Structure 1
Amino acid sequence: MTSRTGQCHCGAVKFEVTLAEGFSTIRRCTCSYCRMRGAVVASAAMGSIRFTRGEESLTSYRFNTGTAQHFFCSRCGIYTHHQRRSNPHLYGVNVACLDGVSPFDFAEVPVVDGVNHPSDTGQATRRVGTLRFDPAVEER
């Protein structure tokens, strides 16, 4: 288990989270909302996020079936986490909000098919690609 602290951009929302499987669950999604948001997320069990400041500053957004609930800071607009549609007992936590972590720390991020969502198809979550980050070597 990996415990981390995190916050939104302005610091109004601060939290502690336990990632039961560390960063082995990182992913991106192709659904319309995630595609526009562009965040890399890691999984956390329901109840594993503890807000140390500003939970009242969070607002949420739901679309389509209304099952998934996406949370973001009402001051700076940064997405912190969401309750998953595919498993409402799990959160997806924005790794960019975790202290000392960047989405660019991961050379490869699995991309899952959110357009053909498992809740709609009855099939297992399907990996449709890999997002790769290859840091440029500084030329001298």
Structure 2
Amino acid sequence: RRCDCSLCRMRGAVAVTAGLGGVEVLEGAEALTEYRFNTGAARHFFCSKCGIYTHHRRRSNPNEYGVNAACLEGVSPFDFAEVLINDGVNHPSDGGGGVVGVLRYERVKGD
């Protein structure tokens, strides 16, 4: 999924879901840094050396992580033909939310 909140719009990552016990950082944990904004409930993690967003602990469900699909070995955000866009501007924890669109990827012939 993707989200249309101000932070997610700019980072543009496709996030997949994992439970709290379902994420293991195999390398570079010492380089991760945390960023919180707005309510401070969601915990966003980035590499302090290259700036890439790796994962976040969700505000909407603190028992889950959103994981940048591009950070998973063997996975590309272009592997997904359709990605749902969640309404992060009107966050579910604030009484809004839901799916507001779909991002589609279609490979052009010859690629």
TM-score (structure 2 length as normaliser): 0.94
Give the match for residue 75 of structure 2.
Answer: 101
The whole-number CA distance in structure 1 between the counterparts of 2:71 and 2:5 is 21
Alpha-carbon distance in 2 for matches of 1:136, 1:105: 14
TM superposition shift of 1:53: 2.5
Report which of the two has the higher share of strand: 1
Quick one: which of 103, 114, 135 aligns to 2:88?
Answer: 114
The aligned residue for residue 4 of structure 2 is 30
Q: CA deviation at 1:49?
A: 1.5
Q: How far 1:36 moved relative to its partner?
A: 0.6
Report the AA paired with residue 39 of structure 1: A
Which residue of structure 2 aligns with residue 81 of structure 1? 55
Question: Considering only CA atoms, is the larger Rg found in Structure 1 or Structure 2?
Answer: 1
Give a deviation string over 1:49-103, Cα, whole Å, max 9, x none. Answer: 1223221110011000000011011111111100001011100000001111100
Give 1:48 shift: 1.8
Q: Give me the whole-angstrom Cα distance separating, in 2, the residues matched to 1:118 and 1:86.
A: 6
- Greater mean alpha carbon deviation, residues 38-47 or residues 51-60: 51-60
Between the aligned partners of 1:46 and 1:62, the Cα distance in structure 2 is 18
1:127 and 2:102 equivalent? no
| 2-structure distance, mates of 1:53, 1:132 | 32
Corresponding pairs, count? 111
RMSD over aligned CA atoms reads 1.3
Secondary structure of the residue that 1:93 maps to in structure 2?
strand
In the alignment, the residues of structure 1 paired with residue 93 and residue 50 of structure 2 have an alpha-carbon distance, to the nearest angstrom, of 32
1:137 to 2:109 alignment: yes
Point out where structure 2 has 5 or more consecutive residues left out of the alignment.
none
Give the superposition deviation at 1:119. Answer: 0.6
Give, in whole Å, the separation in 2 of the partners of 1:50 and 1:100: 16
Equivalents in 2 of 1:53, 1:39: separation in Å?
Answer: 20
